[in-house]
Amino acid sequence: MSGVVALFTDGADWHAARLEQAMTRRGVECRRVPLSACGFAVGRTATGLLLPGFGDALPAGAFMRVVGQGSFEQVTLRLGVLHALDRLGVPVYNSARAIEACVDKSMTSFLLARAGLPTPPSVTVQDAATARAVVEAWPDCVLKPLFGAQGRGLRRLPRPEDLPEPEAMAGVYYLQPFVPPRRDGEWRDCRVFVVGGRAVAAMIRHGRSWITNVHQGGRCEAMAPDGAVAELAVRAAAAVGADYAGVDLIAAPFNEGTWMVLEVNSMPAWQGLQTVSDADIADALAADFLARVEAAASRVPQ
């Protein structure tokens, strides 16, 4: 494959290092680029973009690992750069559209339901009075930040008066009825890693509490990436348009052996999952990404 690919990441990242190694093994030059250093340069560069390390050239492909923390305006600009790359014919993996669909939990819920996938009901509103009415109708609610990851900021609300003020939730309440991830006396759910329409790795997450995320102290246990969980995870990734995704599933209450989709993560970490998986996850990602880059190059008129 000719050309240099961009790996959008932020600082020294274990995952980015693994991806870079996997691409280098395939003879592809990979440049790490922080999206925080990117922007638009209309009339100043041939592409109209400011991409450190590329000048007037475009990358052959762009792998999205991290958008990075920032203000609403900064994140909007970074996603705008990804949209622009797509308009310019650069394969972006995952696309800005998929990232937007997954970062916004309300949109994820909407798309999953529209695709006919089992997922907990949810209500997303902007005023406290309506949110309190929802909590009253659903005793023992879960309140999640609309933009959040790794289990941070989750709250259980047993009573309407437990609802925080709007300022604490950036003016948006995303609410779901609590689905207890408890089986055989343990808190647990599962994560399935999907790459290119295929489940390549999976794990059961054992939590110290109802929040089972690895970054919140959850313990990983190997799980075969096949059967019902694999099929559901692949369909969930497709529903949000993700090239790769970490899909969180929970056992459906009152229906033994069935699962529901909790979340779809478009920039998932996999360091914990890799410790219990025989699959080389970075290698699977690099292989699928570079195959897409080559396919896009073959469609460009010479």
Query: How confident is the model over 159-204, as pLDDT tens digits?
Result: 888 898 988 888 999 999 988 766 666 778 899 999 999 999 999 9
Q: How are strands ordered across the β-sheet holding 123-125? A: 123-125, 173-177, 141-144, 155-157
- Which residues lie across from 176 on neighbouring strands? 142
pLDDT tier at 251, thresholds 50, 70, 90 = confident
Whether the CB-CB separation of 16 and 8 falls below 8 Å is answered with no
Among 250, 211, 253, which Cα is nearest to 233's? 250
User: According to the model, what pLDDT value does residue 299 have?
Assistant: 79
Give the separation between CA 97 and CA 33, rounded to whole angstroms: 20
pLDDT at 92 over 90: yes
User: According to the model, what pLDDT value does residue 22 have?
Assistant: 97
Among 184, 181, 206, 195, which Cα is nearest to 262's? 181
pLDDT tier at 2, thresholds 50, 70, 90 = low
User: According to the model, what pLDDT value does residue 125 have?
Assistant: 95
Compare 23 and 302 and report the one with higher pLDDT: 23
pLDDT tier at 212, thresholds 50, 70, 90 = low
Structure pTM? 0.91
When the pLDDT of each residue in the chain is averaged and rounded to a whole number, the result is: 90
- Tell me the pairing of strands 49-50 and 39-40: antiparallel
pLDDT tier at 1, thresholds 50, 70, 90 = low
Name all domains of the chain by residue range, CATH numbers in brackets. 4-93 (3.40.50.20), 123-177 (3.30.1490.20), 181-269 (3.30.470.20)
Instruction: Supply 91's token pair.
Output: 């394969």
229 HSE (CA, 13 A, CB side) = 23
- Quick: pLDDT tens for 111-154: 999 999 999 999 999 999 999 999 999 888 889 887 766 556 78
**What number of H helices and E strands is found in the chain?**
8, 16
State the amino acid at position 10 in one-letter form.
D
SS3 244: strand
What DSSP element (H or E) covers 111? helix 105-114
Mean pLDDT of 258-287: 95
User: According to the model, what pLDDT value does residue 258 have?
Assistant: 83
With a pLDDT cut of 90, the percent of the chain lying above it is: 70
User: According to the model, what pLDDT value does residue 189 have?
Assistant: 87
Whether the CB-CB separation of 237 and 288 falls below 8 Å is answered with no
User: According to the model, what pLDDT value does residue 153 have?
Assistant: 73
What DSSP element (H or E) covers 128? helix 128-137
Whether the CB-CB separation of 190 and 223 falls below 8 Å is answered with yes
